[in-house]
Amino acid sequence: MNWPISTASRAASRSARPRGELGGAADIWRYAAALARDLHGESYNTLGDGTLGVVLREAIGVVSIITPWNFPFLIVSQKLPFALAAGCTTVVKPSELTSGSTLVLGEILEAAGVPAGVVNIITGTGPDVGAIMTSHPDVDMVSFTGSTGIGKLTMTNAAQTLKKVSLELGGKNPQIVFPDANLDDFIDAAVFGAYFNAGECCNAGSRLIVHKEIAEDVIARIAAMSAKVKVGDPLDPETQVGAIITPQHLEKIVGYVSAASGNGATVSHGGAALDLGSGQFMSPTILSAVTPDMAVAREEVFGPVLSVLTFETTDEAIRIANSIDYGLSAGVWSRDFDTCLTVGRKVRAGTIWMNTFMDGASELPFGGYRQSGLGRELGRHAVEDYTETKTLNMHIGGRTGWWMPRS
């Protein structure tokens, strides 16, 4: 549920999200292919005259890869090429809502010469297919991206046979903005971070933690820019916020907004579903006067809803940022590098952006603290996650007997 793309790719993707997703995925495949040639073990020849130690990295075996619906091509590309680079065989289950692109990927891999049986793609629901993939004794590792609730169930299933598990789960990611920040840049990043992919992104910047001194101005400026965001047909290159995945999910998003409003939050922009003739759409929404105890400030809404909280001191901002169960990513905005570094080191999240948001690259690891998951994807160590370490302890020459020392 990550989108680790460069600033240039991100800008291009605003009007063409699927093309941007494919570009980011292609870069990951190239990067993983390079890592395949660099996978290596270790040797130790300083353990004594009669000992040589060699540490091998071997493919862990069969890997079950389960991916969600929100970035169906990109997320499988954060997993599958690294498993292949390590020498593993795989069983891949895309979401039953968005299986098509993964099936096309299978055709591409077959045409590229991947041997039969190395990549196996199965479609179906979690209960029918995913449960078997996470519990079957012949599976050695599970790599799952999805909700925290299903991630916990995946871990429970895998625990029955003590499989290795990699989980990339939910997020409720804060952007902390100080009065000395470049507000022009921040406003753009706040709108992008909240509404990108209709907010159906675990990396969404769905919490703004804004200094009280500038909060009123920030809310007004974000509302003004939000009014210009185009909602509509996802296939229209000019669309910035497309359809919500299902009617049931739209109902859930509207429910969060209604509950927050009922508990004292102010709807500063949007706040309702949109009737565009067909499909299900949610207006870009800003909730102000949000308090840290509200569900909309603590739980993953997974829609184009931005919650605005305020602070007065740096310690208070850090405390609010860390007050939830998630720890996937965060942003901090200030011209003072000391402020950025202080916040960056104290906020418990896997990625901290400083004066930017949702930028990334294949070289940079991605994953979360706490209930945002286990392990990291991407980066130069990603291939190693799909390996086991084996030690070869070799004795050279005659062995000294334990029962009777040799003369």
Please say whether the dihedral angle defined by the alpha carbons of residues 144, 235, 287 and 222, taken in this order, is positive or negative.
Answer: positive
* Tokens matching residue 344: 């960056």
Count of CA atoms in the C-beta half-sphere (13 A) of 46: 1
How many angstroms separate the CA atoms of 165 and 214, rounded? 43
Residue 379 token pair: 């980066």
Q: Which two three-digit tokens encode residue 407?
A: 């003369």
**Residue 226 contacts residue 191 (beta carbons within 8 Å):** yes
Whether 324 contacts 172, CB under 8 Å: yes
Q: Which residues are designated catalytic? A: 168, 202
As a three-state string, the secondary structure of the chain is: CCCCCCHHHHHHHCCCHHHHHHHHHHHHHHHHHHHHCCCCCEEECCCCCCEEEEEEEEECCEEEEECCCCCHHHHHHCCHHHHHHHCCEEEEECCCCCCHHHHHHHHHHHHHCCCCCCEEECCCCHHHHHHHHHHCCCCCEEEEECCHHHHHHHHHHHHCCCCEEEEECCCCCEEEECCCCCHHHHHHHHHHHHHHHHHCCCCCCCEEEEECCCHHHHHHHHHHHHCCCCECCCCCCCCCECCCCCHHHHHHHHHHHHHHHHCCCEEEECCCEECCCCCCEECCEEEECCCCCCHHHHCCCCCCEEEEEEECCHHHHHHHHCCCCEECEEEEECCCHHHHHHHHHHCCCCEEEECCCCCCCCCCCECCEECCEECCECCCCCHHHHEEEEEEEEECCCCCCCCCCCC
Q: CA-CA distance, 63 to 164, in Å (whole number)?
A: 9
Q: In whole angstroms, what is the distance from residue 34 CA to residue 109 CA? A: 17
